[in-house]
Amino acid sequence: MIIEAIKEELEALVVDGALDPERVVEAARNPNSSMHGQFDWDDSTAAHEHRLSQARALIKRVKVNVIRTDNEIVRVSSYIRSPSGSGYESTQKVMVNQADRITVMLITLASCATMLRNLAAPEVDGIVIEIENLKAQLLSDREAAA
């Protein structure tokens, strides 16, 4: 299986317990590498994809102060991924719409739970359970509001 071959290649590139992306790219340049097909070797399209990645990072760096309903002032990204999945929208606009707000919270909570599970640390199991409970409550709230 290709994933197993990639895993083996990555393990072979580990030096002093660390995997350097530079070494991964260098190894993947070899057309015989199982990793080769995972990269875009056309410099024009790869450059465009890199610029899109830079644009996403730039969008995320722009911040705005928001006053929450509990009157707490928090600094947040001015734009967040659109609940529809197409581009970015103003955080303030999305958070005012109840359905969009819940959708964004569900997506964010799912990402948090995945990151915590990837730690494979039993110390965070309780947090993951709380996240799953909150997601269930938000789904219930969204259905009730619809």
Q: Return the pLDDT at 68.
A: 86
Give residue-wise pLDDT tens across range 109-137: 999 999 999 999 999 999 999 999 999 99
User: Which tens digit of pLDDT belongs to each residue from 12-52?
Assistant: 999 999 999 999 999 999 999 999 999 999 999 999 999 99
| 127, two tokens | 């947090």
pLDDT value at position 145? Answer: 80
- State residue 44's pLDDT score: 95
Separation in Å, CA 121 to CA 19, 110, 115? 21, 17, 11
Domain ranges, ordered by start, for the chain: 2-39, 97-146
